[in-house]
Amino acid sequence: MRKKIVAGNWKMNTLPAEGVELAKGVVAGRGEVCSCVNFIVCPPFTHLSMVAEALKGSDIELGAQNCAAEAKGAYTGEVAASMIAALGCKYVILGHSERRQYYGETSATLNKKMEQAYANNLTPIYCVGENLEEREAGKHFDVVKAQIEEVVYNLTEEQFKNLVIAYEPVWAIGTGKTATADQAQEIHAYIRKVLAEKFGAAAAECPILYGGSCKPANAAEIFAKEDVDGGLIGGAALKAADFLAIGKGFQK
């Protein structure tokens, strides 16, 4: 049985006090959702310790949105994986399309970040996904395959057992345009096949999340698909009620 995961990527939103309120709202309503769903919230770095405090006593886990490629040292403005782990993070989002697109993150950088994550017992949520041009040219399978081969294929079997993949088509992020449930299933099944080519049967255990304009109205249909194990949620994770309602997309 694969883990069911609903993870909130808050991106660069909320002031610290607002983030704490949001986390408290998720904690307060968590009981309405099946305990089979693993909730993760990923606030900005600045909020991590306060949000960790707000999550105390609940089963909601904490993640960061990024980490440095180096362990420590003279890297002004960077935040090390060891630092976020020390604040209580269990997860770190790596390779989000916004990092790839706006901050030039390449597979070479992401390989180093993955190493840092594992060295600090963090589970990476590794994001893959094509842009609109690539989708329209029918290249989406090749794009996600390369993103997996260049990074995930470098993991050891042991590391692979602690990995979450998020498929996020860039054309669906923040656009209100969601992939259809069938489109999500098609590419999730393909991703699992690519993973199986390297890691064999362990690929059947790897959670693959869908991300891109996922909301209460469409989550249940997408999550019902065999190879969709949950969601990585942006905008709708900023309202506790919506985030929880997405979790309800998993039937008890």
- Sites of contact with ligand 13P (CB under 6 A): 9, 96, 168, 173-174, 211-214, 232-236
In terms of CB distance, is 37 or 236 closer to ligand 13P? 236
Please state the closest distance from residue 39 (CB atom) to ligand 13P, in A: 15
Of the residues 61, 105, 168, 188, only one is catalytic, namely: 168
Catalytic annotation on 168?
A: yes
Which among 11, 41, 33 is positioned nearest to 231, based on CA atoms? 41
In terms of CB distance, is 7 or 60 closer to ligand 13P? 7
Please state the closest distance from residue 211 (CB atom) to ligand 13P, in A: 4
How far does the chain reach from its first CA to its final CA, in angstroms?
15
Catalytic annotation on 96?
A: yes
What secondary structure, in 3-state letters, does 176-245 show?
CCCCCHHHHHHHHHHHHHHHHHHHHHHHHHCCEEECCCCCHHHHHHHHCCCCCCEEEECHHHHCHHHHHH
User: How buried is residue 4: exposed, middle or buried, by Cβ count under 10 Å (0-12/13-18/19+)?
Assistant: buried
Which among 82, 159, 171 is positioned nearest to 129, based on CA atoms? 171
Over the range 154-177, which residues count as b (16 or more CB within 10 Å of their CB) and which as e? Answer: ebeeebbebbbbbbbbbbbbeeee
In terms of CB distance, is 207 or 235 closer to ligand 13P? 235
In terms of CB distance, is 69 or 235 closer to ligand 13P? 235
In terms of CB distance, is 48 or 173 closer to ligand 13P? 173
Please state the closest distance from residue 203 (CB atom) to ligand 13P, in A: 22
* Nearest-CB residue for ligand 13P: 234
Alpha-helical (H) ranges within the chain are 16-29, 48-55, 81-86, 97-102, 107-119, 132-136, 140-149, 157-160, 181-199, 216-223, 240-247
Please state the closest distance from residue 74 (CB atom) to ligand 13P, in A: 30
Please state the closest distance from residue 73 (CB atom) to ligand 13P, in A: 29
Of the residues 47, 96, 140, 188, only one is catalytic, namely: 96
Please state, in angstroms and rounded to a whole number, the distance separating the CA atoms of residues 19 and 71.
27
Question: Could you list the active site residues?
Answer: 96, 168
